[in-house]
Structure formats: C-alpha cells, structure tokens
Structure 1
Amino acid sequence: MSLEEDDDVPFVMSDLPEFSSSERNKRSLIGRLLNPDVQEMADFIFQMPRKWQKQGRVRGIALSHERFQFIFDNEHDLLEVLEKGVHTYKEWAIVVEKWEEVPPPDSLQYLPIWVQIRNIPINYQTEKAIEALGNIVGKVIVGAFDPTKARSNVYERVKVRFDVSRPLRKEKVIDLPNGEKTKVFFNYERIQKRCYTCQRLTHDQDVYPINIRRRQLEAETRRSGGCVVKKIAIPVISESDPLYGVLKENQVGINPNT
C-alpha cells in the first residue's frame, strides 16, 4: 500500500469513555474575543480568573486566536459568571456561553445585554410597547417593566439577545398612531468600547475599513502634491445658545452613548 492510499483512510475516534472529555466539559463555558487584535489571548487566559475572583477554581484553555474555554471546579462558580451578563477584557466585550456537546449553528454569535430605552411616550409605557421597542435592537429575553411600582429612572430596561455582527443602534424614529413622530434612545449597560464610526463591537474606529481607506487616499494625495480638503467643524454652541460666549467649543460636546 502506498502512502497516498493510506492517507485516504479516515481515522475513527474511539467512543470509549477515556477518550472523551464531555464529563469535564459539563462544568465549562466557551467564549469568543470580539476584538482579538487588542485582547491578547495569552494574557486573557490568566487574567480572567482574577477578574472573576475565581483564582484556583477555574482554568482557561486557548482554543484558537479568538476562542477559549474555562473549566470550573464548581457548577455554582460557572453559573455566577454567566449570570453577570456582559463581560469585558481590556474594555472590549467578550461572548461567553455554557458548553454544549453539540453547539447550535449560531453559537457565540449573541450577547445578552440589558438595554435602557429613553424617551418612551407617556401613553405607550406598557409591557407590550416596551418589548416592541426592545425588539428593535435584539430579541427581548426579559423585561423589567412593572406598572405597579414607582420608578426613579428616566428609562425602561429590557434584556435582549444581541447579534454581535450588527452595530449598536443609538436611536430610532417612531411613528405614533396619531400621526406624530418621536425618537427613542438606546443605551447599553456594561458595554464599554465600540467603533464610534460604525458602532460595532469588533474593532476600534482607527481600523474601520472606510477610515483606513480615507487615510490612505489622503496620504497618496499629499505624496502627489495635491491638497487635502479638511472638513469644516460645525460649531456646537450657536449664537442663540445661552452658553454662547460663556463656554468654549472644546468644553462641550455630544455624548456618543446617548
């Protein structure tokens, strides 16, 4: 038999218990770094047990450049980590899920995020209306609305299943049944860094493809002796603003989160 013929024969993995790690994996979570260019896997594996305050009770395993596994000694430690919601490393989000022997096709594609919804019209502060608004950004899992209790916050909260391949939506124009329009705003709890150009969780705006191409074109224009036209900054404070002349432009701005 030639070497080529031998390579065509598939290797059959034994189904004996000593060949399988499924029993150990039952106390593990798997996950994915959303910005692996910044979140170095080698440091991440050793830093997260300390961040979770589980040193000595969990060990991490790098599965690839962006995927990982953490095996816990105790089931309650694993559940406590999962219940905390969004986790971050170096201020960028990571996706974690409880291990499954046969993961679904969309495994590690969704984050459970608590979303604050602001500026909901007073006549539509109902469970159904708030759930419908939450579904704009992701499938609502849990709603915190309770019409029988006092509320000191100026927003309602829903927990959604957010697709990490999509951008974070900051606002949405709503057409009301009476013909009027309003705008609601979304704020995402425990989400720290994102690309402020496209609002995605997978890269910084410095490496956003359109920004990179724009900088390349500007550099090529300079090398060829051309003139790069700079954008004219739009003033934040107009002459009709009460703060005009009191504050400088660099003292004010728009909060990108809200």
Structure 2
Amino acid sequence: MNRRLSASEKGKGLEMPSEPPRASRVMVPHFDPSELIHNHKLILVGRITNPKIQKMWALLPFLADHWKVSSRPIGADLGQGRFQFQFSSEEDLQKILDNRPYHFAHWMIIL
C-alpha cells in the first residue's frame, strides 16, 4: 500500500518537448486613416457606469435634450453599456466636452 513511485513513473528526468517554431511576422499593408478620422471627428463615445440602474433607452433622449446645442445630436446605442452621439459642428462637441462631468440616474457617465 505504501509503494514508492520511481522517477520515470513520476515523469522526472524526461526531456520536455521543445516549443514549436514561432510563426513568421504578418506584414500589414500601409493604411491611411485620414478619411476615417475625417468621417468620425464629430462623434462622441461614452459609457454608462451602472447598467442595472442607468437605462440606455432613457439616457439617449435625456442627453440629447439636456445638451443645449445649435442642432440636436444623433444618439445610438452601441451595446454593452456604450453609446455614441454624432454632432453637426465642432463647436457643439467642444461645448459638451467643456461642461463635463455628466450624471444620469445618480451615476456618472464616462465620455
């Protein structure tokens, strides 16, 4: 009942298999993101901090009404507690960023 295992039975002294050779590096072609930056420069992305209490369906119209800007921003739910607003001018977006922080349902909103 008290039989001792030998070193080979325990796997000691055996040569460990070597790691497989590394894969070669992937070459990514040059990409110019200037068009994407231009198309998305007026978009503000945010996140709610307590999705159990902060409901996205109530947050989007609340913020669009709360922010007094020249034209109403377009809000969209991105899922997983994230949202985005698209503004019509850079001045409107800067005005929103200058008046941070924002709260909804007694919890912070991350912009």
TM-score (norm 1): 0.28
Give how far 1:56 is off.
Answer: 3.8
Equivalent residue, structure 2, for 1:87: 102
User: What is the alpha-carbon distance in structure 2 between the residues aligned to residue 33 and residue 78 of structure 1?
Assistant: 19
Give how far 1:60 is off.
Answer: 0.7
Larger Rg: 2
Cα-Cα RMSD: 2.3
- Contact 1:24-1:71 within 8 A present in 2 as well: no
Equivalent residue, structure 2, for 1:211: none
Equivalent residue, structure 1, for 2:45: 30
Percent identity reads 30
Give how far 1:61 is off.
Answer: 1.2
- Alignment partner of 1:63: what SS? strand
User: What is the alpha-carbon distance in structure 2 between the residues aligned to residue 26 and residue 49 of structure 1?
Assistant: 18
Match of 1:78 among 73, 76, 93: 93
Unaligned runs of 5+ in 1: 1-14, 97-258
- Alignment partner of 1:37: what SS? coil
User: What is the alpha-carbon distance in structure 2 between the residues aligned to residue 28 and residue 94 of structure 1?
Assistant: 16
What is the CA deviation profile of residues 182-221 of structure 1, one whole-angstrom value per residue up to 9, with x for unaligned ones? Answer: xxxxxxxxxxxxxxxxxxxxxxxxxxxxxxxxxxxxxxxx
Equivalent residue, structure 2, for 1:65: 80
Give how far 1:55 is off.
Answer: 7.3
Equivalent residue, structure 1, for 2:55: 40
Unaligned runs of 5+ in 2: 1-30
What is the CA deviation profile of residues 37-81 of structure 1, one whole-angstrom value per residue up to 9, with x for unaligned ones? Answer: 111111211211111123743111111131111110010111111
